[in-house]
Amino acid sequence: MPNISPGATIAALLLSRHAHAAPSPPSENGVGYLHIPVTAADQLPGTDINKRATGGSIEQILTNQQLFYSAKVGLGSPPQQVTVLVDTGSSELWVNPDCSTATSDILSKLCKTYGHYDPNKSTTPARGPLGNKTIRYGDPSDASTHTSVSIDYYSDSLSFGSAGITNQTFGVVTKSVGQSQGILGLAPDLQYGFTGKPYNLVLSSMAQQGLINSAVFSLDLRHMESKTGSIIYGGIDRNKFVGTLERLPLVPGSQGEFRLSAQMSSFGVTRTKSQTIKVQGNSSVVMFDSGTSFSRLRREVALPIIEALGGRQVTNRVAVDCSILDTQGSVDFGFGNTIIRVPFKDFIVAVSPTECYAGLVITNDNQILGDTILRAGYFVFDWENRAVHVAQAANCGDNDIITVGKGPSAVPKVTGNCQESDLLYSVGSSTITAAAPIKTVGSGTVPSFPTNTNARPNDAGQTKSSKSSGNRVGSAPWLIISLVATTSLLMAL
């Protein structure tokens, strides 16, 4: 068995303890949309592994598999089904990792169940190879997270259920280290951003080919006990959040590169005593990354949270008392006037009844809000207007999906149908007995994108991704969400 990092050890333990595949929902047809079931990733015998559509949007239902959020896509004609990790922290779509280099025997075996694309079996026909590239994933300050893939580019059809796009460029792996599944990147190109260079990324192709109205998608991961969440291309589900979506401008990463990042205004912990800390400068910039399990925060942000949770450093993890899972409270992150409250039961990872870890690690690189935080929020990413809209996640019934439009107001000012009583969990705000004085941390300035949409902030990322992906599965994951119980496809009118 190969060496595995502490994070991968946690992943393997969770994998071997929790697993049942989610049943596929029935197909559903309606005016202007097509709802298609998508099969959850196959499970290994004897193991436990604990992302629809109306008028112009595509929603893929995600199934919580405890290690990553994944979706099934079809490549070529006829479609060759491949399960890929849904990743808002990187931009490339690639498939066919070398399963023999996965970081554990379990991940290697799972890798072989995720499907394989053979361009020679496509009758489209596939075009390629069109070029090649090496992509490196991981936090530069944490060697245990480093993985890589070398890919050849091909062009072929790409489908989501019965809807799809043509002539999509994607990578086919020629060599990989530490990866156990393909990746569907939904972030802009690190170097060229949202411009469609050097080729159209998947979200841009969906919009340009009329599958959705504009390059917008919403993300709803749900809490740990849920079996499914969703990603909606071109739409917003008003039954999955509380309050009004707050719009924030996207900002560059720490090296000026293009990211799905925004400015965080505050953070804190709500327990019997609440603590709110304002954050400014470079320490306020966070990247939204569904491809990372443990969130990665700089020391000045992480330490107050660790202290409030009574955490202690164990190797590169933060151990906490498991009794905190039985208490009400939350770890809180502020964005403008919106506070995303993450309940302890979603922020704390229980490996066993007596071994628990906080869902964060300390980094010196880009700060990342991974699955441990994203589960508590509802996020709408607008590529064309370089904005993200945020709200507290909830669930108040069947889908109520509206489609986005085009232009500067593509994402309207939307208020969710849910009330506080519809929150996915209680954070116990009524238990607060005192509030600590508000402090401020961080320094420096917050970067911004150039006003010229064709300008490149720097030369990063063309042959090497500096993505601080943190615990990418096969590197140091603990939480997989595999996906997909159903896909709803709504055709643009």
- List 159's β-bridge partners, or say none: 74, 164
Whether the predicted pLDDT of 24 surpasses 50: no
Instruction: Provide the pLDDT confidence category of residue 89 given band limits of 50, 70 and 90.
Output: very high
Residue 107 is which amino acid? L
Q: Which of residues 479 and 142 earns the better pLDDT score?
A: 142
Whole-angstrom CA distances from 9 to 104, 229, 414, 452, 474 are 8, 25, 42, 45, 10
Q: What angle do CA 336, 342, 346 make, to 5 degrees?
A: 155
Annotated catalytic residue 371: no
Strand 368-369 and strand 285-288: pairing? parallel
Cβ–Cβ < 8 Å for 316, 253:
no
Q: Which of these is catalytic: 87, 189, 237, 332? A: 87
Q: Identify the weakest region by mean pLDDT among 39-43, 143-147, 187-191, 325-329.
A: 39-43
Give 367: exposed, middle or buried? Use CB within 10 Å, 0-12, 13-18, 19+: buried
Highest-pLDDT range among 30-44, 64-78, 98-112, 366-380: 366-380
Give the helix ranges, DSSP H, for 297-447.
Answer: 299-309, 344-347, 371-374
Please report the pLDDT score of residue 426 as a whole number: 56
Q: What is the mean pLDDT of residues 104-110?
A: 84
Torsion of CA 202, 204, 205, 209, to 10 degrees: 150
Strand 80-87 and strand 182-185: pairing? parallel
Q: Which of residues 48 and 371 earns the better pLDDT score?
A: 371
Distance CA 227, CA 35 (A): 18
Q: Which of residues 144 and 8 earns the better pLDDT score?
A: 144
Structure letter (DSSP) for residue 267: E
Q: Identify the weakest region by mean pLDDT among 48-62, 321-335, 378-392.
A: 48-62
Distance CA 382, CA 434 (A): 39
Please report the pLDDT score of residue 62 as a whole number: 52
Task: Identify which of 255, 302, 294 has the alpha carbon closest to the alpha carbon of residue 469.
Answer: 294
Instruction: Provide the pLDDT confidence category of residue 26 given band limits of 50, 70 and 90.
Output: very low
Strand 261-263 and strand 355-358: pairing? unpaired
User: Could you give the domains of the chain?
Assistant: 64-211 (2.40.70.10), 242-441 (2.40.70.10)
Task: Identify which of 386, 373, 377, 380 has the alpha carbon closest to the alpha carbon of residue 414.
Answer: 380
Annotated catalytic residue 382: no
Distance CA 207, CA 385 (A): 14
Instruction: Read off the tokens for 345.
Output: 């039961």
Distance CA 435, CA 197 (A): 49
Q: Identify the weakest region by mean pLDDT among 117-121, 138-142, 203-207, 467-471.
A: 467-471
Task: Tell me the whole-structure pTM to 2 decimals.
Answer: 0.81
Cβ–Cβ < 8 Å for 201, 194:
no
Instruction: Provide the pLDDT confidence category of residue 105 given band limits of 50, 70 and 90.
Output: confident
Please report which helix (H) or strand (E) contains residue 135, including its range.
strand 132-137
Instruction: Provide the pLDDT confidence category of residue 437 given band limits of 50, 70 and 90.
Output: very low
Please report the pLDDT score of residue 254 as a whole number: 79
**CB atoms inside a 10 Å sphere around CB 360:** 26
Q: Which of these is catalytic: 98, 139, 189, 289? A: 289
Whether the predicted pLDDT of 428 surpasses 60: no
Give 347: exposed, middle or buried? Use CB within 10 Å, 0-12, 13-18, 19+: buried
Please report the pLDDT score of residue 449 as a whole number: 54
